[in-house]
Amino acid sequence: NSQQMRVQDLPKAATEHFPLCMLTLFQALRRDAHLRHGGRMQLSLFLKAIGLRMEDALAFWKGEFTRKITAEDFDKRYAYNLRHNYGKEGKRTDYTPYSCQKCLAQTVGAVGEYHGCPYRTLGSAQLKESLVENMKLTPMQAKQVAEKAQQGHYQLACGRALELRRFGGEELEENVMHPNQYFEMSRKSEL
Ligand code: SF4
């Protein structure tokens, strides 16, 4: 994956092409100037895989967090883990981004936690609201998508949201298996 994502292009990419799991985290980070550990892991590995380089990732996270804490605090408490995710610290493991399965398996629920898959973690009313607000679906479309989620078909619900949002409702052949695959599929709608 040689494409590069620039920090200044992130907001537009997020609102247009991030799946709901990553958009939810991105917005929570921008709103709260903070994300808890599970969210940092899930979002930072996703961002790495869409081409955000390590130095840019550090600048991005630092820019958000230092709206509330000092730069020294950020460097002490958060920079190591971010570099770690890029395999630059510790065991130098190159962490792979979370698949849908891994997002779906996350334990979420503490106050201020927004990771996991929202199709599973959100209640029906909240999910519909988020689909209208964030995925720009109509209330009718959101209802259709939320029904799939309620039946436990989280990835199908996510795929349907993508079809409605970017492909005029046309059915896609691929199922959503991975947030980074969703991102690539969504970007194809622009070609
Ligand atoms: Fe993210 Fe996958 Fe859930 Fe879609 S189905 S919101 S890509 S975890």
Averaged pLDDT of the chain = 94
Question: Do 93 and 132 belong to one domain?
Answer: no
**CB-CB neighbours of 2 under 10 Å:** 4
Number of domains in the chain: 2
Question: Do 133 and 92 belong to one domain?
Answer: no
Question: Do 17 and 93 belong to one domain?
Answer: yes
Tokens of 140: 């009718």
Tokens of 13: 């990419």
Ligand 1: centre distance to CA 191 (Å): 23
Ligand 1 and 19: CB distance under 6 A: yes
Contact 172, 162 (CB under 8 A): yes
Q: Is 92 exposed, middle or buried (0-12, 13-18, 19+ CB in 10 A)?
A: exposed
- What distance in Å separates the CA atoms of residue 100 and residue 138, rounded to the nearest whole number? 25
Q: Choose the residue to mutate in 43, 46, 103, 126 for probing ligand 1, maximizing ligand atoms within 8 Å of C-beta.
A: 103
Structural domain harbouring 133: 101-105+117-188
110 in any annotated domain? no
Q: Where does a domain end: 53, 69, 98?
A: 98
Question: Do 93 and 64 belong to one domain?
Answer: yes
Ligand 1: centre distance to CA 112 (Å): 19
CA angle 135, 105, 27 (to 5 degrees): 35
112 in any annotated domain? no
Contact 149, 164 (CB under 8 A): no
Nearest CA to ligand 1 atom 2: 100
Question: Do 17 and 74 belong to one domain?
Answer: yes
Q: Is the pLDDT of residue 87 over 80?
A: yes
Q: Residues 41-82: pLDDT tens digits? A: 999 999 999 999 999 999 999 999 999 999 999 999 999 989
Question: Do 13 and 91 belong to one domain?
Answer: yes
111 in any annotated domain? no
Tokens of 99: 């698949």
User: Helix, strand, coil: what percent of the chain each, to 5?
Assistant: 60, 0, 40
pLDDT number for residue 53:
96
Q: Is 147 exposed, middle or buried (0-12, 13-18, 19+ CB in 10 A)?
A: middle
Ligand 1 and 185: CB distance under 6 A: no
Q: Is the pLDDT of residue 91 over 90?
A: no
2 in any annotated domain? no
126 in any annotated domain? yes
Q: Where does a domain end: 67, 98, 129?
A: 98
The secondary element (H helix, E strand) that includes residue 59 is helix 54-65
pLDDT number for residue 93:
64
Q: Please compute the mean of the pLDDT values over residues 121-136 and round it to a whole number.
A: 97
Question: Do 57 and 128 belong to one domain?
Answer: no
Question: Do 125 and 184 belong to one domain?
Answer: yes
Mean pLDDT check: name the lowest of 22-36, 94-108, 133-147, 163-177.
94-108
